Amino acid sequence: MRPYEILASECLIKANIVDLYRDTILLPNGKTTTREVVRRGRAAAVIAALHSGEILFVRQYRHATGDFQLEIPAGMLEEGEDPAAGAARELEEETGYRPGKIRELFSFYSCIGFCDEVLHLFLAEDLTSGTPNPDEDEFVVVETYPKEEALRKVLSGEIRDAKTIAGVLYMCQEIHG
């Protein structure tokens, strides 16, 4: 097997944080079809562990869901930005905490069916508190929860964000693993 050949790619919408393309692709059977693809780029997310063992979260309104969501700190990487530096920057901007240690856990696609965004998930430890400095359009509330309560929030459906679910399950793997 090999990747499908892209015969044409047309930008339908160029927006602030995403671009929408329609690609015409050649299928293995020789037929052609189209696929819409949201091009978003790279992002970093960080699961931050306090000395107490609690996990840092941010609660913010997400317009696409029409509701407030409990998430781990995350954001888009700037052009050419190292993912670890971006994760540390997002953590500090959203929560005020700076990591003493940060390491990449794994990378994954946020929504593989229609979006090319790659998220780099990091674990931040040895945190030092400071003052949050969110973007002017970010209104977040910082919350902390013990691992067990965070896992309960995932399993009950209160946490529905994929990157947050991945981070919490990683942190809680020793609880039930």
- Contact between 48 and 124 under an 8 Å Cβ cutoff? The reply is yes
3-state secondary structure of 173: helix
Residues in the chain: 177
Q: Which residue reads 């430890």 in tokens?
A: 125
Distance (Å, rounded) from C-alpha 23 to C-alpha 25?
6
Q: What tokens does 148 get?
A: 């067990």
Q: Which of 71, 92, 93, 136 is catalytic?
A: 136
- Contact between 163 and 58 under an 8 Å Cβ cutoff? The reply is no
- Contact between 53 and 144 under an 8 Å Cβ cutoff? The reply is no
Instruction: Specify whether 136 is catalytic.
Output: yes
Active site residues: 136
